[in-house]
Amino acid sequence: MAEPFSFKYQLSTMAKERLDPSEIGVMIKLSIVNNAISLTAGEPSADIYPIEELKKAFSTIFEDTSLLAYAKEDFGLLNLREWITDRMKADGLAPEWVEPKNILLTNGAGEAIDLVAETLIDPGCTVLVEAPTFTETLLTFRKQGANCVGVPSDDDGIIPEEFEKIVKERGARFLYTIPNFQNPSGRTSPVERRVKILEIAAHYDIPVFEDDPYHYLSYDGEAPATYLSLAKDDKRVLHSNSFSKLVAPGVRCGWLVVPDAIIPHLNALRISAGLTRPAIVQQGLFNYLSATDFKARVAFLRDVYRVRRNGMTEAIKKYLRPLGIKTNYPRGGFFLWGEASSVGIDDIPAFARFAVEKKKVGIIPGSAFYTRDEAKNGRDAFRISFAKVDPQTADEGIRRLAEAFREYKK
């Protein structure tokens, strides 16, 4: 019997060489398979979805049958884009030039990242990212053929002097940054750094791609001003955000603020990727937002996640700090960053598998958040998510993690 067709001679370079399995996905699956306490997933928990409000918001959408046809508006439902524009300006996230025509509705922030990559990246070009940065973004940029280079960062995010040094030496197509409560590190860049980085970007004529999905999830005061607002009329900043963290990830709706100069290009790529996005979902989401006290919703989320953040940091203080393991204190978002060199860890992927299989607790290896050439920089680091973890579960999970650190390699 002939062997089934293998496609081995037909696979593209992209499929064969540019993509690796997501370490986040691998560890989430291992946590499930091993029935472990998962400190892996950076997503909201189902208990805080606004279920009843969404049921009501979506109950009337079929009354407008035009929503079932191909959408007529290039960038998505106008009502929702107007709501986003007004909200961003009211909260100081956007300068005056941003109008509904500059808001592109996307299939979550992930599609925004993909569209920017398709618009700005040519194979072999250099893209600068924070070191560390979000794994899935690295995969998206690599898929397009980018040479991703990590810019050294500290507790205040990207170090401006390092950014300028790299730009001088090799240039860059653009800088990608998650400036607020960064994934994976939980770090936030202060305004002074953002201003300096914008000055360097302007001097070397480089755009900035600001990914800001955690902006509203601040637990100790408000998040700093966005790059988008600080740049004012310069229009070199693309800004992405998402309703995944504010409403529910399953609504799959994010947005991208698009400067006028590249609206035609992004629109053409958007059409080639699937003609339209689901207007019926966008209408339901608009109905929900229109009937909701948004500030009250944000305050509720902050209160819930603040308790979870505090529970996790207390457990870390109780179990990991006596081992000499260093962690930071995020002022928002979903994540903490840890470094385990004090306990002799130099192969964090191997340790993470030991922890999930033997001690039933899942974490994400820090090496997953660096470029291929720089993965060694995360060999003793790890990411913890507190988003879905109540204080009691955090205590047990970190207790198990401490046991894993003590017993590994014994």
Q: Is 113 exposed, middle or buried (0-12, 13-18, 19+ CB in 10 A)?
A: buried
Q: Which helix (H) or strand (E) holds 93?
A: none
What is the arrangement of strands in the sheet containing 254-257, beginning at the earlier edge strand? 103-106, 254-257, 237-242, 208-211, 174-177, 126-131, 147-154, 157-158
Q: How much is the average pLDDT of 150-159?
A: 96
Task: State the pLDDT at residue 187.
Answer: 97
Indicate if the pLDDT at residue 1 is higher than 70.
no
- Asked if 189 and 157 count as a contact pair (C-beta separation under 8 A), the reply is yes
* Collapsed DSSP state (helix, strand, coil) of residue 264: helix
H-helix segments, 74-208? 78-90, 108-120, 135-143, 160-170, 191-203
CA distance readout (Å), 76 to 2, 287, 318, 331: 49, 15, 49, 33
- Phi/psi of residue 126, each to 5°? -95, 130
Sign of CA dihedral 380, 21, 212, 334: negative
pTM confidence score: 0.95
Structure tokens at 358: 């033997």
Task: For residue 233, give the DSSP letter.
Answer: G
CA distance 301 to 235: 31
Q: Is 187 exposed, middle or buried (0-12, 13-18, 19+ CB in 10 A)?
A: buried
Indicate if the pLDDT at residue 3 is higher than 90.
no
Task: State the pLDDT at residue 8.
Answer: 82
Superfamily of domain 13-49+296-407: Aspartate Aminotransferase, domain 1 (3.90.1150.10)
What does 13-54 look like in DSSP terms, one character per residue? HIIIII----HHHHHHHHHHHTTPEE----S--GGGS-HHHH
Whether domain 51-291 has CATH 3.40.50.150:
no
Task: State the pLDDT at residue 24.
Answer: 86
Indicate if the pLDDT at residue 410 is higher than 70.
no
CA distance 343 to 353: 17
Task: State the pLDDT at residue 119.
Answer: 96
Place of tokens 């091993």: 34
Task: State the pLDDT at residue 372.
Answer: 83
> In this predicted model, what pLDDT tens digit does every residue of 47-64 receive, in sequence order?
999 999 999 999 999 999
Q: Where are the domains of the chain?
A: 13-49+296-407, 51-291
- Phi/psi of residue 129, each to 5°? -135, 160
Average pLDDT, the chain: 94
Indicate if the pLDDT at residue 306 is higher than 90.
yes
Indicate if the pLDDT at residue 9 is higher than 90.
no
Indicate if the pLDDT at residue 159 is higher than 70.
yes
Asked if 13-49+296-407 and 51-291 have one fold, the answer is no
CA distance 325 to 337: 11
